[in-house]
Amino acid sequence: MIHDEPQTLLLVEDNAGDARLIRDALTTADSAQFTCVQVERLSDALARLAEEQFAVILLDLSLPDSQGFDTIKQVQASAPQVPIVVLTGLNDEELAIKAVQEGAQDYLVKGVEPLMLIRALRYAIERQRLRQELRASEERYRNLFENASDAILSFTPVGNITDVNHGLEVMLGWARDELIEQHYRKILTPASAVVMEARVRQALAGEPSPALRDIVELEAVRKDDSIVPIEIRDNILSDPQGQPAGVLVMARDISARRALERQRAEFLAMLTHDIKNPLTSLMGYTDYLLEDPGQRDATKREEVLPWIKSNAFTILSLVNNYLDLSRIEDKQLNLHKEPISVNDLLNRIARQYAGEARHRQITLELQLQKKPPWVEGDHLALERIFANLVYNALKFTPKQGKVTVSSAARHGEVVVTVADTGPGIPTEEIPILFGKYQRAAGARRKDGTGLGLFIVKTLVEAHHGRIEVESQLGSGTCFRIFLPLKAA
């Protein structure tokens, strides 16, 4: 690399004649390349290096206060970023190799031709620059390796682990020192080890196989012998000659995803079961009305139609919850907000569920604030929130019970309360009540997918609101929705 400005060279040489020859050689070769600063002792060199910047150091190994390769070590410790070129009177190949091994960039014998000297200095500077870039690149790689959220390990072609990152230590509980030089079978189940061995063997042999880098799911073994499902991506590592030198594997814990997949499978089974039951009842009641309709008087129809409507409500609630869940998980929950009268909305829902309440022999009562509170919200979303809560309250309240829906405005918020006289919820279940696919146990266990309250909470928070619940066994349950009051 050629510089427009002269670069400063530190010459550490105690022999005045040799120093003069170096300065003359620099001038003869190209006076624009380097300016020379000379010192005679190592201590003086270290002092100058602490105060000034130099492009290269031309170092004699025989000084009044230092001899041999220790001189290189002390200079390097003081200025590790500055390249060193050793200049001695000994033409010794073994000595030259040793000097380079100790950290010098080059080794020259005194009396070297000026052009050779300039070239050696320039090459030393460029090699040092490349070495620093390589060291910085290696440091960046090590930081990425260590701080990656995924677990990473590498192993030799025969399977002996050569390195692991902190992510793998955290995921499996093994310390790095416990895994280095161990075979990767130590951290894989037998079946997963067979899969890995086949992939690596085929890849190293160049045989057609599922390509490394393809994602594959395996099972790893933690230090406590528990099993963790993982997905991996792997790649062949090559040496400088392009020959396979090992394998790099990136692994990710998919326990949460597996759990969600199980939940979804259970959810679909529940949804199928819970829709099938009311749908079968609905079809049965419809067949009952269609059989010889001339003999079905109005009294009979009044007995059957509420059951049909009740089962239809159940199916509608299940389907709506499933559709809401799909929109939430696909991040397509688009709200179209507008001014909405909460009282008008609650009156509409009460009329919608009045027949259901009569059918279940439950009193549905409204206690609405006279001055109607308004909010800024999505009409359909708010209707889903309150309809879910009212329907749940009716579903869990026994005959002759009561469901009360109230509204009030206080402290800049609209508060809607849905209270029932049902069996209540155990205290230990309240923290998980709003989780996805969670269904109550015991007295409040009913058919359902366990999505209603999760959807309610999600929609409330999308309106910058919050939901609270109070309940205890045998004393009913009270849900409160808090929404920002719309300014006048």
HSE toward the beta carbon, residue 287, CA cutoff 13 A: 6
Alpha-carbon distance of 343 to 374, in angstroms, equals 8
pLDDT at position 450: 56
Residue 369 phi/psi, 5-degree rounding, is -60, 140
Distance from chain centroid for Cα 417: 38
**What is the SS3 assignment for 382?**
helix
> Residue 294 corresponds to which tokens in the numbers above?
């001339």
Closest to 34 (Cα-Cα) out of 59, 5, 12: 5
**What is the SS3 assignment for 56?**
strand
Highest-pLDDT range among 299-308, 313-322, 408-417: 408-417
Tell the burial category of 60 from Cβ atoms under 10 Å away from its Cβ (0-12, 13-18, 19+). buried
**What is the SS3 assignment for 466?**
strand
pLDDT at position 241: 78
Our CA dihedral for 359, 365, 370, 372, rounded to 10 degrees, sits at: -50
pLDDT at position 420: 96
Each residue of 64-116: pLDDT tens digit? 998 888 899 999 888 888 999 998 878 778 888 888 888 888 888 887 888 88
| Residue 339 pLDDT level (bands cut at 50, 70, 90) | very high
pLDDT at position 133: 78
- The larger pLDDT score, comparing residue 424 to residue 236, is at 424
pLDDT at 442 over 50: no
Tell the burial category of 183 from Cβ atoms under 10 Å away from its Cβ (0-12, 13-18, 19+). middle
> Residue 484 corresponds to which tokens in the numbers above?
């920002």
**Mean pLDDT across 451-468:** 87
**Mean pLDDT across 312-341:** 74
Strands 56-59, 62-63: pairing is: unpaired
Tell the burial category of 240 from Cβ atoms under 10 Å away from its Cβ (0-12, 13-18, 19+). exposed
Question: Which residue is listed with tokens 């129809």?
Answer: 301
Each residue of 15-62: pLDDT tens digit? 888 888 888 888 775 555 788 899 999 999 999 999 999 999 999 988
CA dihedral sign of residues 8, 9, 14, 17: negative
**Mean pLDDT across 348-375:** 89
Q: Over the chain, what is the mean pLDDT?
A: 82
pLDDT at 237 over 90: no
Each residue of 251-307: pLDDT tens digit? 999 998 888 787 777 667 666 766 766 777 677 767 767 765 555 566 566 667 777
**Mean pLDDT across 392-398:** 92
> Residue 430 corresponds to which tokens in the numbers above?
């309240």
Q: Which domains does the chain have, with CATH numbers?
A: 7-143 (3.40.50.2300), 148-253 (3.30.450.20), 313-484 (3.30.565.10)
Alpha-carbon distance of 147 to 149, in angstroms, equals 6
